[in-house]
Structure formats: C-alpha cells, structure tokens
Structure 1
Amino acid sequence: MAKEVVYTQRVEFGDCDPARIVWFPNFFRWIDAASRNFFVQCGVPHWNETEKTLGVIGTPLVDTHAKFIQSASYGDVLDIRVSITEWRQKSFVQKYVVERRNEGGSVDTIMECEEVRIFGGRRDGEKPGIRALPIPPSIRALCE
C-alpha cells in the first residue's frame, strides 16, 4: 500500500467565485502545495538542498487529469489525501483525493486528480530549461 499524507486547506471567502463556489484553479494551487507537503512529510529536504546534492530542483507537472464531483464553498475544511501510485524511470504518478469534513463526521469527496510529475534538473549547455532526471533512489525510499 502506498504511503499517504494528508494536507488540510480551509476555504476562504476569496477562494470562491460570486456563486460562493471554489474557483477551480484554486484546487490546482492547493494540490501543488499538497504535493510539496507530501515530500516534506516524507523527509525529503528542501529543493535548494536537493539541487546541491542530487541536482533536483523540484517536481514539475507534465500531465494532469481531474474529476470534480461536488462543489466546495467558503468555510469548508478540505483534506487533500496525497500518495504516489506509480514510480516510473523518470516520472511518477501522484494521486489526490480532496474530501470535505462535515459536522457529524461524514466526509464528501469533492475532487479526484492524478498528476504525472518528474524530478527536474537544470539543462546543461546553452539551451535553458529543465530536464527529467532518473528517480533518485534516496527520495523514492523516503516516499514508499
């Protein structure tokens, strides 16, 4: 079973559109924060440190698929459950399940998302940008 980390986000008034529904790009902002939090909770050092030791500057997104199931609104507390469901040679699949905690203890699933990310490193030479690096075994060991 994959390691799971929960990131909690409270929905604020400014996160919503005039209909009081969370504006959908905010979910992707929160998921990105939950992704980094996953690595922090697993013990992966800050990206500044991994750049020095492994050449890894972060985990850029290369593909995403989302399914919105219910809406969320101002005052909701959302738990974003994060896990890595697949390790590939130079990429990995991160899964997110966004849930709302209700009074009385029930939980509603708000959104499900899968992203493909890479461990990015700086390109050598004249061409600027990043490149996909092989999955660092030390990071994988921390996250399994």
Structure 2
Amino acid sequence: MTKVVVYEVEVMFGDCDPAGIVFFPNFSKWMDASSLNFFVQCGVPPWRELVKTRGIIGTPLLEIHTVFKRPATYGERIQVHTSVIEWGAKVFKHQHRVMRGDTLLCEGTEVRAFCERDPADASRIRAIPVPDDIRRLCE
C-alpha cells in the first residue's frame, strides 16, 4: 500500500486572481510545500540536517505536470494528498491530489532527484542514488 500524507492549506484572498479564483501557480507552490511535508511526516530529517550529516541538499524538481479540474477561492480549506507513486534509481515521482473535501481540484506529478553538491565543482549539484533508509521511511 502507498503511504499518503495530507497537507492542509487555507486559501487566502492574495492567492486569488481578480476573478476570485486561485491563481494557478499557487497550486504548484502548495504541491512543492506538500512534497517537503511528505518527507517530514515520514520521519526524514530536515534537509538542513541531511546536508550536514550526509551531504544531501534536498530533492530538486526535474519535471512537473498538472491537470486542473475545478477552481478554488479564498476562505476555503483544501488538502494536498501526496504520495510517491514511483521509485527509480536516482529519481522518484510524487503524486499530488488537491482536494476540497471529496472534490478533486487538480492533480499533479513531480519528478524529483535526491542531490548533493558535486565534489569536483561545488557550484554544481548532482543526483545520487535514492537512499534506501529514506525510501523505507516513505513506503
């Protein structure tokens, strides 16, 4: 069974466009926040600790795909249901289902990689194999 973590958002007036509906990039912002929340809720140490102890700087975004189904507006509470639907050697795919109760507002997927600073050039980053212990925490 896939682990699902729920991240709740209160939609504010400033999240909306002049028509009163959520401006589409805000869904990406909330999915990104839910991605980090997923790892925290699974028991993965914060990135600032992992960079010190293991050199892992985080999980940068490589690809994103979003399908919008229904609008949302200010004053509503929405939930981002996040899970890992695919693990690769160096990447994983997060699925986000943004819900208002039982109503699906949008679905998104993100492909991300665990990364560290490149030892040959610290201004660059490189993907590393998905750490087995982190994967176990998230399954």
Equivalent-residue separation in structure 2 for 1:25 and 1:42 (angstroms): 26
Secondary structure of 1:135's match?
coil
In structure 2, distance between residues paired with 1:53 and 1:136: 13
Distance 1:4 1:136 in 2: 19
5+ residue gaps, structure 1: 102-106
TM-score, normalised to structure 2, is 0.97
2:56 alignment counterpart: 56
- Shift in Å at residue 138 of structure 1? 1.1
The Cα RMSD (Å) is: 1.0
Q: Structure 1: which 4+ aligned runs deviate by more than 2 Å?
A: none
- Does 1:139 pair with 2:134? yes
With the length of structure 1 as denominator, give the TM-score of the two structures: 0.93
Cα distance in 2 for partners of 1:133, 1:55 equals 10
Instruction: List alignment gaps of at least 5 residues for structure 2.
Output: none
1: CA distance, partners of 2:131 / 2:52: 13
The answer on 1:109 being equivalent to 2:104 is yes
Deviation at 1:54, TM superposition (A): 2.2
Checking the alignment, whether the CA contact within 8 Å between 1:54 and 1:136 is kept in structure 2 is no
**Residues 21-40 of structure 1: pairs in structure 2 closer than 5 A:** 21-40=21-40
What is the match of residue 91 of structure 1?
A: 91
